[in-house]
Each structure stands twice: as structure tokens, then as C-alpha cells.
Amino acid sequence: MSDILRTSGLTKRFRAAPVLSHLNLAVPEGSVYALVGPNGAGKTTCIKILMNLLRSSSGYAEVLGHDSRHLSPQDFAQIGYVSENQELPEWMTIEYFLGYLKPFYPTWDDARAAELLRQFDLPPARKLKELSRGMKMKAALASSLAYRPRLMVLDEPFTGLDPLVRDELIESLLDTAEEATIFISSHDLAEIETFASHIGYLDHGALKFSEEMAALTGRFREIEITLASPAAIPRPWPTVWLPPETSAAVVRFVDTEFNQERTVAEIRRLWTGVEDISVSPMPLRAIFVALAKTGRRAA
Amino acid sequence: MRQALHIFGKDVRCLTYEIVATLALVATYVYFSLAGSRAFPTEPFTAIMLPIAAWVLIARSIHAEALPGTQQFWLTRPYSRGSLLTAKVLFLLTFISLPKLVSDAIIIQKYGHSLGPVLPGLLWSQVLLFSAFILPLAALATLTSSMVQLFFSSLLLLPILLFGFGDAFGPMSWIVHAYTAAALALASIVIVAMQYSLRRTAMARLVGVALGLVVMLGAAAIPVSFVVALQARQSRRQIDASQVRVSLDAERQSARPIASRDSATTVSNVDVPYPQIYVPLQITDLPQDADGSDMDARVIGTGLRIEAADGTAWPSGEYLDTRFSNYGQSQMDLNASVPRAFYTRVKDQPVKLHVTAYVTLFGHRRTTLIGSELTPIPGGSVCFIEPPSRGNVRICLGLFRSPPNLILWPERRSGPYETSHSPFPADLGVSPVRIFGFYPGSLLDRLPIALVTLEPLAYIQREFEIDGRPLRDFEQPPPPRTQLIQRP
């Protein structure tokens, strides 16, 4: 599988402050790639550089095999970009908006556009400025899906939307995922988990990991150890384990490289009098929270 | 082109109200110009509103696809920047240039001109409108994303207008105007090209400020020697003007009142920072025209440098911005404001006045009879005399520009500031009609009357010195003021 998006050493500084730091990212074609991370991690900046909305301070970004600084109209004809802060031409009605965009896209599909209007329950004669935030997001998505883009880039598309609208958007994205690559940044981890095939975690401008969702959820485990009596935290603490929380004789931590035999052996080596070891799989949200906490502590 | 037309169509729909309002304003302007007095061709309210309406249209059309920022939807759509720019140019030509072209063509019909002879002026005024008005504002619009930002940015153009389109060089001011228009257009093209190709707003703003300073300082720094040299190249005929002399008019100098000698009162003028120096001049030994008559001469610029006996001088460098007045054939005054400190120190010393005069020689004298009807005169203007019921005033109207020729009404003479030595067929302006020669005339019993026009034939520079006279001999008494101190 070739990479449809790729960055190499991508760095962005606003004045002196680094926002992205030597980012190396690869998004395989056909994947649903979720870029997650806490606020201010650099997700939106990364996307804006990929879409040639911002210029990087150094490094390289490639989209559809082309330098992102030189994306041509032909490239944009294959890209659908939807952002929570996008300014739409609010004076247009939905119908006029879609009609206006149609000649820009050789692959525009009228039937698909009509289907999306129906699916999203969008009133064609309503002006964009008269739409709620959710409806506006749906209109933006419809205008980007109607030409069956090869790559969909979504920047926080679910922020501030009610669950119903969110479900509708995800449903339409899932339909699209069969024929397009989706690159999405989001805080909505529970939703992301349901359909993302790949995930990247960005923190303080640096990519902490980037891998397939199954591999990620497979290697993260929450471990709870019950000891015979309270004991000190062993030093040195294994680097693949996130910092622990202790309560009396109970120690909890997250293992980021879980392997049943190796993890248990390591626990028994570090503590004596281990009475019980409990291993729990972690949902994406729990992984994200644990990583965010660790990142904050480190900062 | 198809995409450009598509974007153009969208802009027309988006800006329908603004377009209708602008066209209505143009129609109103044309109506008032046609229905109003022929002596007042410009209706002031609409004449002010039209540039404002054009400013709004420029701003709204460019801002429809604003270039600064990262959140506009169009930035990630398959827009061709070339098509976008073409659409904007097409829009501005259609709804600003074309209405102006049509309205000008209609208005000038009122003054008896067919389109053919005025076509160069009509087209050149369009070039000026686009290069010195539309383009600079469009360039500013590409650097801003809101009307408020654009409004304050537009204020930055005021110093350029002040320095670049003033009348510092009288009939030769067209040289500064032409430089300013060309430099503004060039700077604007650079900014527009940068923004539509690279969309690097911060860099383009810096370049814009730098280019704006270059345009403004360039206009302010153009030396009169350059202006005169360039103007001299415009001389139509090779005329031997070597014998022409400019000198002090001793007769008028001795007859005029001198502040320190003739004032019955001493003015309390210690607070006047710049005492006035007047030097009466005369031009003699004018060459003869083809018909054997003497040519006419008018000063179009003067300079003065005062050197005191103690070695000090004012100004320290070249000073060429003195004022002057023409009193008809061959007589004129030079007027300068001298700093009080310098004046007080050297007024009783013998000084050396170094005078520079720039002179236009006029000839090819022609007479036209002017009545109450619009009558074309040589040089492309029309003149008429309003009947006694309308004030009996004598009026001349130039199309698209000030007249190139010196116009001499009986008893009154046109000053050089009413003429322009520009070789171009149009100046920048809202109205295609320029009014000049508007004299509150004495009653004229009989019409028609003879009006004389003279063509500018050559531009010359003369320098001379007045040595050994105290500076106070050239001081003009200040105008009378209410607080006078009686001489004991």
C-alpha cells in the first residue's frame, strides 16, 4: 500500500514557539487514519500544512504524491477538505453552493449529491448562513463527498455536534471509506475507534506513535497488581510502562508494549509478594487519557 | 476562461445589490451632468459617491475570495488562480471601467464633441482609472480580508496621493503624476501577482509598505531640474532662445513698498516665522514667431538661493519651490518664505540672490470668436460665454484634461497653472469635463468676443544673480493685522 499523505521532518514554528517538531507521518492509501492528541498538539497545523493553507518552517509534506506547497487544482479536485472552522460562502443557498462547485470537479456526481442532500436532510433552498452548526457541517461534507474524492481530510469534524448528527456524518464517512482514504483529526475517540484503521498520536508537536488501530489496542493494557503489603515503586521503572498510581497495596499502570508472559515475568521480578495481577484491554479513550496525563506530567 | 466566467457569474449574483447601487449612482451622475448647467458639469454629491461606490465594489469582489487567512472554503477547492484573477479583473472592468466609459461618452456629447476626436482621451482616462485607482485598491484588497482593514489600509494611500498628484510643478506637474500613476500601477501589479500566485500575505504586506514608500518618496524627491529637463525634451520646435533674458524688473522693484522703509506702522511680526521675499522679474528679448510677432512667455517655476556676506546661505541646498505670479506678458513676481532667524541676521547685509526661472515660450497665436454657443478652440477645449441672465461669465471646458494652450481672454489672461504641458490626452478624474477659465467677468455688451490661444513651443531655464542689495529691500510688508503698534 503506497502512502497518500507523507511528511518528513515537518516543522512549524510560530515566531519562536515550535508547534510541529520534525514530524514524520505516513498515511497509507485506503486507510482511515485518525490523528489524535490533546489541544494544541499541532493536529490542525499539520493538516493546514498538508492542505497548503500554511507553510512549514522546514521539512517536507507530500499529498497525492505532490509537494503540498504546489498542490494544483487537479490535486484539489481529488481532495475533500472539511474543517470545523471553515468559512463557507454564507450568502449561497445549499443548492446554489453545490451547483457552483459542480463545474470545478470533473468527477462530480449529481445523483450522489442528491442522495447526500436526502441522507443529510438538507433543505436545498436554505441559505448557508441560516443553517445550524451541524447542518453547515453536513452541507460542507456533502459538497466534498459529491465528487467522490480520492482523499478526505477532516479537521475536527465532530466538534460541537449532537450525537445524532455525528452518527449521520460517520455513516456517510463509512460509505466513503470504501473508495477513499480518510484522514481525520478528532477528539471524539469513542467514535474514531469504531471506524479508524490507523491512528497517530500527536503531543506537543511530536508524533508519539503511528500505527494500525488493532496493533495499538493490542499492545496497550491496564495492569493492576495487588501486593501482600504496601511496597515502594521500584526504580528504575520500565520505560514501556506509563507512570504508576498506587493505593495501599495496589499498583496500577499502563503497559504500552503488552506481552502476557514478558509483562508477568517483569512484574514478578520487580515485586515480591504479588497476590494478584489483573490485565484489562483499554478502549482508545483510556489510552488517550493515559498518554495525555503522562505527557502533561512530563511537560 | 470557462472557470473565470463561472466565478464572474457567482460574483455578479453575490454582489447584485452593490452593482445595482453603483450603476444607479452612475446613472444619477450622468442625469445631473446632462440636466444641469453646462457651466457646472460636475454634480458634487454623486462625484464624491462614485469613487466610494467603486471602492466598495473593488473590496467586495476581491474579498469574496479573500487571500489572507486559512479558513476560506475556496482555498482547498480546485480554483485556478489565473482564472480567479481573470474573473476579478473582468468584474472590475465590467462594473467600474465600463460604466465610467459609457457615462463619459454620454456626458461629452453634451459639449458638442463626437466620439472620434476624443477617443484617445476617453481611452487614456480608462488606463489612468485602472492603473491609478482600481489597481492600487485591488492590491490593498488582496492584503486584507475585511472592509475595516481595507479602509484603514486605504488611508495609507493618502500621502501618496498628496505627494504624487499635487500641483507643485504647475503645468509640469504631469511628470510627477505620470511617475506616480506608473509606479503605483507597477507596485500594485507586483502585490497582486504575489498574492494570487504565492498567497504569502505577510511578505506581500512588507513589500507593499516598501513599494508604497518608494512611490511616495520618489514622487516627493523628483527634482525640478529633472522635471524641467524632461519638459524641455517636449519642445515642439527647435527655437533659438539663446537671447531670452530673465532679469530683475528694476522699475517695479523701486516702485514697490518695502516693509522697513514705507510702512507707516511697524507690524508686530516677531512671531511670523517666515518673512516674505518678493523679487519682481521681467523677460526680455523674446524670439519672434513665424508670423513676425514676439512670442509670449510665462514662468512655470522659480527657484531662489540667498548668499549672505558672512558666507552663510539659505537654503543650504537647492531651493526650487518658491511661489511665483505672472502679471501678463513678460512680467512676474518670485515669492519665497525665508526663515526669520536667517532673515533677521542678514537683512541689513548686502546679499547675493541667485534666481532660477523656468519659462515656457508660447507662439502660434490664433484667434477664435466666442459667443454663447459652445465653440471649440485650438487645443481641444470648448468655450462659451453665459448670457447676462446667468452671470455673463466666460467659461472654457477641457475634456479629460487641462488645456495645453495658453488662453487669453480680452482684459484677462490665463495663468500657467490653468494649462498643462502634459503630452497625454487625459488626467485622472471623476468627470470627463474639466472647468477652467471661469472668470467673474465684467459685462460684455457685444458677442462674440475674440479669444486668443497660444501653443507652448519651448521650455527654457534661465539663471541670474542680484548682487549687493540688502535683503530687507525685497521684503514684502505682511498683510495688515488688527494688532498694530504705532511708531513713536
- The mean pLDDT of chain B is 84
Contact B76 A105 (CB under 8 A): no
Contact A48 B79 (CB under 8 A): no
Residue by residue, DSSP assigns chain A as --EEEEEEEEEEEETTEEEEEEEEEEEETT-EEEEE--TTSSHHHHHHHHTTSS--SEEEEEETTEEGGG--HHHHTTEEEEETT-B--TTSBHHHHHHHHGGG-TT--HHHHHHHHHHHT--TTSBGGGS-HHHHHHHHHHHHHTT--SEEEEESTTTT--HHHHHHHHHHHHHHHTTSEEEEE-S-HHHHHHH-SEEEEEETTEEEEEEEHHHHHHH-EEEEEEESS--PPPSSPPTTBPPPEEETTEEEEEESS--HHHHHHHHHHH-SSEEEEEEEE--HHHHHHHHHHHHHHH-
Is residue B387 located within the same domain as residue B356?
A: no
Give the CATH number for residue B264.
2.60.40
Q: B353 pairs with which residues across the strands?
A: B306, B466
Split at pLDDT 50, 70, 90, the class of B265 is very low
Structural contact between residues A58 and A11, judged by C-beta atoms closer than 8 angstroms: yes
Lowest mean pLDDT among A124-138, A255-269, B189-203, B345-359: B345-359
In this structure, the dihedral spanned by the alpha carbons of residues B392, B396, B397 and B403, taken in order and rounded to 10 degrees, is -160
The residue ranking higher by pLDDT, B444 or A268, is A268
Residue of B nearest to A91 (CA): B14
Chain centroid offset of residue B100 CA: 21
Residue of A nearest to B64 (CA): A89
Contact B77 A104 (CB under 8 A): yes
User: What's the pLDDT score for residue A147?
Assistant: 94
Contact A104 B78 (CB under 8 A): yes
Of the residues B6, B11, B73, the best mutation for testing chain A's interface (the one with the most A CB atoms within 10 Å of its CB) is B73
Three-class SS of residue B139? helix
- Is the model's pLDDT at B482 over the cut of 50? no
Percent of chain B exceeding pLDDT 90 equals 36
Contacts of A88 (CB under 8 A, 6+ apart): A97, A128, A136, A139, A140, B73
For residue A82, the distance in angstroms to the closest alpha carbon of chain B comes to 9
Lowest mean pLDDT among A93-97, A210-214, A226-230, B414-418: B414-418
B230 is a domain residue: no
Whether the CA torsion B471, B476, B482, B487 is positive or negative: it is: positive
For residue A74, the distance in angstroms to the closest alpha carbon of chain B comes to 6
Report chain A residues touching chain B, CB-CB < 8 A: 48, 51-55, 73-77, 79, 81, 83, 85-89, 91, 96, 100-101, 103-105, 140
User: What's the pLDDT score for residue B296?
Assistant: 85
In what side-by-side order are the strands of the sheet with B331-337? B245-248, B276-284, B331-337, B323-326
Nearest to A53 among B2, B6, B75 (CB): B75
| Dist CA A203 CA A42 (whole Å) | 7
Please list every residue in chain B whose beta carbon sits closer than 8 Å to the beta carbon of residue A99.
Answer: none
Contact B200 A55 (CB under 8 A): yes
User: What's the pLDDT score for residue A66?
Assistant: 95
Domain count along chain B: 3
For residue B9, the distance in angstroms to the closest alpha carbon of chain A comes to 10
pTM summary value: 0.84
- Is the model's pLDDT at B467 over the cut of 80? yes
User: What's the pLDDT score for residue A161?
Assistant: 79
B240 is a domain residue: no
User: What's the pLDDT score for residue B316?
Assistant: 56
Is residue B58 located within the same domain as residue B124?
A: yes
Is residue B254 located within the same domain as residue B311?
A: yes
Is residue B476 located within the same domain as residue B445?
A: no
Question: What is the ipTM, given to two decimal places?
Answer: 0.86
Overall average pLDDT of the B267-291 stretch:
77
For A3-216, CATH number? Answer: 3.40.50.300
Of the residues A81, A100, A105, the best mutation for testing chain B's interface (the one with the most B CB atoms within 10 Å of its CB) is A100
Contact A83 B71 (CB under 8 A): yes
Is residue B39 located within the same domain as residue B157?
A: yes
The residue ranking higher by pLDDT, B51 or B274, is B51
pLDDT tens per residue across span B130-188:
999 999 999 999 999 999 999 999 998 888 888 888 887 888 889 999 999 999 999 99
- Is the model's pLDDT at B483 over the cut of 50? no
The residue segments making up the domain with residue B437 are 364-453
B238 is a domain residue: no
Give me the total of CB pairs closer than 8 Å, taking one residue from chain A and one from chain B. 48
pLDDT tens per residue across span A126-140:
999 999 988 999 999
CA nearest neighbour of A39 among A162, A202, A166, A153 = A202
User: What's the pLDDT score for residue B484?
Assistant: 37
Please list every residue in chain A whose beta carbon sits closer than 8 Å to the beta carbon of residue B10.
Answer: 100
B236 is a domain residue: no
Overall average pLDDT of the B223-228 stretch:
82
pLDDT tens per residue across span B456-466:
888 888 888 98
Is residue B467 located within the same domain as residue B399?
A: no
User: What's the pLDDT score for residue B292?
Assistant: 81
Highest-scoring range by mean pLDDT, A96-100, A156-160, A182-186, A258-262: A96-100
Is residue B349 located within the same domain as residue B477?
A: yes
Please list every residue in chain B whose beta carbon sits closer than 8 Å to the beta carbon of residue A48.
Answer: 70
In chain A, what is the straight-line distance between the N-terminal and C-terminal CA atoms, in Å?
Answer: 36
| Dist CA B200 CA A56 (whole Å) | 12
Scan for cell 472620434, then name that residue.
B116
For residue A212, the distance in angstroms to the closest alpha carbon of chain B comes to 28
User: What's the pLDDT score for residue B145?
Assistant: 92
Of the residues A52, A86, A87, the best mutation for testing chain B's interface (the one with the most B CB atoms within 10 Å of its CB) is A87
- Is the model's pLDDT at A91 over the cut of 90? yes
Structural contact between residues B390 and B465, judged by C-beta atoms closer than 8 angstroms: no
In what side-by-side order are the strands of the sheet with A198-203? A79-83, A151-155, A181-185, A32-36, A198-203, A206-212
Is residue B214 located within the same domain as residue B271?
A: no
Is residue B357 located within the same domain as residue B468?
A: yes
pLDDT tens per residue across span A18-53:
899 999 999 999 999 999 988 888 999 999 999 999
Lowest mean pLDDT among A150-164, A167-181, A239-253, B360-374: A167-181
Task: Measure the CA angle with vertex B307, ends B301 and B309; round to 5°.
Answer: 160
DSSP B72: B
User: What's the pLDDT score for residue A10?
Assistant: 94
User: What's the pLDDT score for residue B82?
Assistant: 95
Residue of A nearest to B71 (CA): A86
B235 is a domain residue: no
Is residue B353 located within the same domain as residue B372?
A: no
Nearest to B76 among A54, A76, A103 (CB): A76
Nearest to A53 among B2, B3, B70 (CB): B70
- Is the model's pLDDT at B99 over the cut of 70? yes
B183 is a domain residue: yes
Overall average pLDDT of the B204-229 stretch:
90
Cα distances (angstroms) measured from residue B148 to each of B59, B136, B151, B152, B201: 10, 17, 5, 6, 17
Extents of the domains making up chain A: 3-216, 221-281
In what side-by-side order are the strands of the sheet with B394-399? B375-377, B381-385, B394-399, B433-439
User: What's the pLDDT score for residue B211?
Assistant: 94
Please list every residue in chain A whose beta carbon sits closer than 8 Å to the beta carbon of residue B78.
Answer: 73-77, 104-105
Contact B77 A76 (CB under 8 A): yes
Is residue B24 located within the same domain as residue B113?
A: yes
- The mean pLDDT of chain A is 90
Is residue B19 located within the same domain as residue B134?
A: yes
User: Does residue B10 sit at the A interface (CB-CB below 8 Å)?
Assistant: yes
pLDDT tens per residue across span B31-88:
988 887 777 767 788 888 999 999 999 999 999 999 999 999 999 999 999 999 999 9
Whether the CA torsion A199, A204, A207, A208 is positive or negative: it is: negative
* Rg of chain B in Å (alpha carbons): 27
Could you tell me whether strands B350-370 and B449-470 are parallel, antiparallel, or unpaired per DSSP bridges? antiparallel
CA nearest neighbour of A104 among B80, B465, B247, B424 = B80
| Dist CA A131 CA A94 (whole Å) | 10
Highest-scoring range by mean pLDDT, A211-220, B201-210, B273-282, B421-430: B201-210
B 154-213 near A (Cβ less than 8 A): 200
pLDDT tens per residue across span B394-418:
778 888 888 888 888 776 555 666 7
Cα distances (angstroms) measured from residue B427 to each of A230, B32, B431, B432: 94, 22, 10, 9
Of B189, B222, B255, the domain-final residue: B222
